[in-house]
């Protein structure tokens, strides 16, 4: 705290002995020691309080940083959710547009042959509707996997497994 050497302390002790005398010197030394202890304790108390306040400020700063980080993470998550939602909406819209264009493509092509990749046209449903007025065929003459000749076609072209025309590749 103070930069006082041994020689300076010895000089102060000799001056105190001369000024106070041998009877009052021990009492003055005790009083001086008590005052020094109180000053030191007060100084330590102030230092501890300052350190506590610094730690409290640091904790508040860290808490604020954590809150900012969490707030930013929440905003990032919200933005990511919105981006995913936008992508899903775009995908749904493109599927709807494709579904809306599919009937237009079907009406532009031959009525007997469904277009390849048409989500609305189910080959099995078409076969069910065609068989409604016909008698049941024996099991030995069952259908093949879509390679039958198309009814009403004069050229005898056959359909492929995807339901499209055989000459389209």
Q: pLDDT tens digits, residue range 36-92?
A: 999 999 999 999 999 999 999 999 999 999 999 999 999 999 999 999 999 999 999
Q: pLDDT tens digits, residue range 118-164?
A: 555 555 555 555 555 555 555 544 444 444 444 544 444 444 444 44
- Output the pLDDT for position 90: 93
* Residue closest to 102 by CA, chosen among 117, 112, 91, 88: 117
SS (H, E, C) 137-149: CCHHHCCCCCCCE
For the segment 2-13, the average pLDDT, to the nearest whole number, is: 83
For the segment 102-107, the average pLDDT, to the nearest whole number, is: 68
pLDDT at 168 over 50: no
- Output the pLDDT for position 101: 85
Q: CA of 91: how far to CAs of 29, 75, 83, 128, in Å?
A: 91, 24, 12, 31
Q: Name the DSSP letter for residue 141.
A: G
For the segment 101-129, the average pLDDT, to the nearest whole number, is: 57
Pairwise pLDDT comparison (52 vs 8), residue with the higher score: 52
Q: Helix, strand, or coil here: 131?
A: coil
């Amino acid at each position: 705290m103070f930069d006082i050497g041994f020689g300076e302390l010895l000089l102060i002790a000799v001056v105190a002995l001369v000024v106070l005398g041998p009877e009052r010197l021990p009492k003055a030394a005790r009083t001086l020691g008590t005052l020094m202890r109180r000053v030191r304790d007060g100084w330590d108390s102030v230092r501890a309080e300052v350190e506590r306040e610094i730690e409290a400020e640091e904790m508040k700063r860290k808490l604020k940083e954590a809150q900012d980080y969490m707030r930013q993470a929440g905003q990032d998550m919200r933005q990511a959710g919105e981006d995913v939602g936008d992508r899903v909406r775009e995908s749904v819209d493109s599927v709807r547009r494709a579904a809306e264009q599919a009937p237009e493509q079907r009406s532009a092509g031959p009525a007997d042959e469904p277009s390849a990749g048409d989500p609305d046209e189910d080959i099995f449903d078409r076969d069910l509707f065609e068989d409604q007025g016909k008698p049941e065929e024996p099991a030995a003459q069952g259908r093949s996997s879509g390679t039958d000749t198309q009814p009403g076609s004069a050229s005898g072209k056959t359909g492929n497994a995807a339901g499209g025309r055989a000459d389209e590749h």
